[in-house]
Amino acid sequence: MLNLNGKTLLRSALFAVACSTALMGGPVMSQDQVPQWVPGEPYPREGLRAYACHDYNLPCGKMGSPEIEQVKYTGPRDGDAEKGERIALNVRWGNCLACHSLPKGHEGGTIGPNLSNYGARGLPFEYTFQRIWDGRVYSPNAHMPVYGPNGVLSVEDILDVIAFIESGK
């Protein structure tokens, strides 16, 4: 169990990224380090790990998966819903919309359950955090990317996304 909380939050998150780096044998990049991709050109291979991978047939899906990580976040729950919305809609970041309908009338894919009124369902925060960090703890074979262990979303990004999906009542 990896503990993530307030002051030690960033350090723990970096530690998690460092572990998965070791496991996958390559660097994990943050959003601002991602190489430029020109639409129509092949995606720069060194950038593949920095995105959620949605298909095992794509090169990113053949890169091996990090070990399942169960986490416990105990810090402040102060995500920014507006930033969370941007992360969720951005196809090169969270891209939650590819599989889920989301609050504020965003109609998305139907591979995952509809999250447009997620806030009204009153699910525990810990559950939601773990689902997004690494949902394999609940459903090992579900078609949802593993966002935490491979460094696609930081702890802060996940808090923002949670604030956004919790805003849907």
Does 81 contact ligand HEC by CB under 6 A? no
Q: Which stretch binds ligand HEC (CB under 6 A): 27-35, 38-46, 62-70, 137-145?
A: 137-145
Q: Is 142 in the site for ligand HEC (CB under 6 A)?
A: yes
Q: How far is the CB of 98 from ligand HEC (least distance, A)?
A: 5
Binding mask 43-72 for ligand HEC (x = CB under 6 A): ---------x-x------------------
By the rule CB under 6 A, 144 interacts with ligand HEC: yes
Three-state SS for the chain is: CEEECCCCHHHHHHHHHHHHHHHHCCCCCCHHHCCCCCCCCCCCHHHHHHCCCCCCCCHHHHCCCCCCCCEEECCCCCCCHHHHHHHHHCCCCCCHHHCCCECCCECCCCCCCCCCCHHHHCCCHHHHHHHHHHHHHCCCCCCCCCCCCCCCCCHHHHHHHHHHHHCCC
Q: Which of 17, 48, 50, 132 binds ligand HEC (CB under 6 A)?
A: 132
Only one of the segments 11-19, 58-66, 67-75, 87-95 lies at the binding site for ligand HEC (rule: CB under 6 A); that segment is 87-95
Contact 124, 131 (CB under 8 A): no
> From residue 159, how far is each of 36, 61, 89, 125, 143 by CA, in Å?
27, 26, 15, 10, 21
Question: For ligand HEC, which stretch binds (CB under 6 A), given 6-14, 25-33, 60-68, 88-96?
Answer: 88-96
Q: Is 112 in the site for ligand HEC (CB under 6 A)?
A: yes
Confirm if 20 and 66 have CB atoms less than 8 A apart: yes
Q: Does 163 bind ligand HEC (CB under 6 A)?
A: no
Q: Which is nearer to ligand HEC, 25 or 57 (CB)?
A: 57
Residues of this chain that bind ligand HEC (CB under 6 A): 52, 54, 88, 94-96, 98-100, 111-113, 115, 128, 131-132, 138-139, 142-145, 147, 161, 165
